[in-house]
Chain A
Amino acid sequence: EAGVAQSPRYKIIEKRQSVAFWCNPISGHATLYWYQQILGQGPKLLIQFQNNGVVDDSQLPKDRFSAERLKGVDSTLKIQPAKLEDSAVYLCASSSLRSQLALFFGEGSRLTVL
């Protein structure tokens, strides 16, 4: 079974530029999550989708971050414009409706903002 796929693995941009990350969850998983992991901290949930609807985006900085999951499968997370403090690893995870306790994480996309 293929795992959660993310791309790109690494991205370096300058502040005020934009960036987009892509995630393809495990096949059949209805729930998709984006987490932000700043160096030395635990991951923090940015947004949670169930199918193509948003369940929780309370910690998403909506003035600069956006995410979509138009067809209920893969998802993109965009940052525009980026700030220095956005440097982090962006983790995508998915889970099935039947087993919400088991989250499967991708390897992450590491963003460096200069």
Chain B
Amino acid sequence: GNSVTQMEGPVTLSEEAFLTINCTYTATGYPSLFWYVQYPGEGLQLLLKATKADDKGSNKGFEATYRKETTSFHLEKGSVQVSDSAVYFCALRKSGGTSYGKLTFGQGTILTVHP
């Protein structure tokens, strides 16, 4: 079945540091890939997405590239801010079928950024 594996957390960085959160997936076909973010006390929000191989999703300085050869979708940001402190979830949606929108999530990575 489909699965998503994220790097173990938590991740603690100083402001302006470089961020990478690893995500790998297992799926048949050509899934769409997503990063969701959950800020303290808020609901999950879509951060970025990519729907096909070699696509790069980007938003708010974050970016991730859909790498089919390595089945990865690593999240990166060149310079993190304190306001980026949140839980980050990698997710996939399988291609085809009737369960449109059904997302399979990774376990989440807690990011804490210190001033």
Question: Contact residues of A with B, CB < 8 Å?
Answer: 3-4, 31, 33, 40-45, 48, 55-56, 91, 93, 95, 100-103, 105-108
Contact = CB atoms under 8 A, between A and B. Distances in A.
A40 B107 contact: yes
Interface string B34-53: 00100001111110010100
Contact of A107 (B43, B99, B103, B108): B43
Interface of B: 4, 32, 36, 41-46, 49, 51, 89, 91, 93, 98-103, 105-108
Main secondary structure of the interface of A (DSSP, over half): loop
24 contacts: A3-B43, A31-B101, A40-B107, A42-B89, A42-B91, A42-B107, A43-B44, A43-B89, A43-B105, A44-B105, A55-B98, A55-B99, A55-B100, A91-B43, A91-B44, A93-B44, A100-B101, A101-B93, A101-B101, A102-B46, A105-B36, A105-B44, A107-B41, A107-B42
A57 B105 CA distance: 17
Given A42-B91, A42-B106, A105 B51 contact: no
A90 to B, nearest CB: 12
Contacts of A95: 100-101
Contacts of B101: 31, 33, 48, 95, 100-101, 103
Nearest to B46: A102
Contacts of A103: 46, 101, 103
Nearest to B87: A42
The 10 closest A-B pairs by CB, nearest first: A42-B105, A105-B44, A100-B100, A105-B43, A107-B43, A56-B99, A100-B101, A95-B101, A42-B107, A43-B105
A45 B102 contact: yes
A56 to B, nearest CB: 5
